[in-house]
């Protein structure tokens, strides 16, 4: 397989030098950078997330940085859909995609795909969101563990989005 059909993945914690490595590599191999950091997709989190500078973004084409308003929900599935479109576009332009970030779930989704979960009725979802709002994260998480004790292995007690999603999946699919 030639280098043009590959994807380069660079993962690691904030401020570990990933962006600098990606930019230097992109210059050498005619690459473009694709964001894989769940916070850097938000427009308003420019400073807090160590987003590449405007100069860096002008030097090398960057994708999926600052694409969504912080008040909107942006799922891993949405990121994956956009990421695949961009990777295909980069390849079509005979360049190499360099996916860079610190969100492990994004990398896992890109490499392994996502489990297909049916869309839920919005009324049922709203009931669960209301329950979370009423109980608060701590009590909601306890209720999740009663409903699905295995969730403890996969869902951090402080992770609101995953707690709600795990509750939805278990409650509405019984799986």
Residue ranges and CATH numbers for the domains of the chain are: 3-112 (3.40.50.300), 122-173 (no CATH)
3 pLDDT exceeds 50?
Answer: no
Mean pLDDT of 6-34: 92
pTM of the model: 0.71
Contact 86, 64 (CB under 8 A): yes
Using alpha carbons, select from 17, 10, 8 the residue that is nearest to residue 50.
17
Of 31-35, 49-53, 126-130, give the lowest mean pLDDT range: 49-53
Is the pLDDT score of 167 beyond 80? yes
Contacts by 44-50 with C-beta closer than 8 Å and gap 24+?
A: 44/69, 44/70, 45/70, 49/14, 50/14, 50/15, 50/19
The per-residue pLDDT for 48 is: 54
What tens digit of pLDDT does each residue of 52-66 get? 778 888 899 999 999
What's the mean pLDDT in 135-160? 95
């Amino acid at each position: 397989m030639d280098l043009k059909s590959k994807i380069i993945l660079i993962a690691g914690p904030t401020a570990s030098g990933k962006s600098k490595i990606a930019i230097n590599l992109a210059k050498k191999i005619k690459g473009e950078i694709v964001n894989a950091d769940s916070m850097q997709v938000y427009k308003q989190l420019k400073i807090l997330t160590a987003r590449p500078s405007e100069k860096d973004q002008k030097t090398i084409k960057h994708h999926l940085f600052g694409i969504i308003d912080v008040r909107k929900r942006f799922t891993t599935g949405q990121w994956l859909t956009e990421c695949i479109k961009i990777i295909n576009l980069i390849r079509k332009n005979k360049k190499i995609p360099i996916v860079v970030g610190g969100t492990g779930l994004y990398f896992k989704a890109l490499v392994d795909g996502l489990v297909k979960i049916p869309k839920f009725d919005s009324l049922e979802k709203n009931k669960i969101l209301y329950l979370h709002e009423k109980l608060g994260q701590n009590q909601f998480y306890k209720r999740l563990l009663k409903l699905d004790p295995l969730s403890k292995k996969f869902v951090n007690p402080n992770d609101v989005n995953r707690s709600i999603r795990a509750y939805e999946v278990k409650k509405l699919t019984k799986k």
